[in-house]
Amino acid sequence: MRNVMVTPNPRLREQDPITIQKTKEGAYVVKLISEAQIAARKCEFYSGIATDKEVADFFNNESDTLVKSARLLQDYYERLTME
């Protein structure tokens, strides 16, 4: 019978602090993108059911702003993950 060495605690590969920070930042940006998209859909919904023209316009403007911010965040996330 052979004597096989088994390491009791294999070490995980450690990441450098910059990689850890980029990973955390990427996860946070993904969350922000998701929240902006959900809020934009809600604004579109409320705009559709609003009876007052001024309220509907307000929700339309907010929806447009949220869609633009989600696109900007998506571009930022893509640049972040390309590095």
Residue 32 within a domain: yes
In angstroms, rounded to a whole number, what is the distance separating the alpha carbons of residues 41 and 70?
Answer: 12
How many separate domains does the chain show? 1
Residue 33 within a domain: yes
Residue 9 has what pLDDT? 63
Residue 10 within a domain: no
Residue 13 within a domain: no
User: Do you know the residue count of the chain?
Assistant: 83
Q: Which two tokens stand for residue 10?
A: 């294999």
What is the span of the domain harbouring residue 69? Answer: 18-82
Residue 71 within a domain: yes
- The tens digit of pLDDT for each residue in 23-73 reads 899 999 999 999 999 999 999 999 999 999 999 999 999 999 999 999 999
Residue 77 has what pLDDT? 94
Residue 40 within a domain: yes
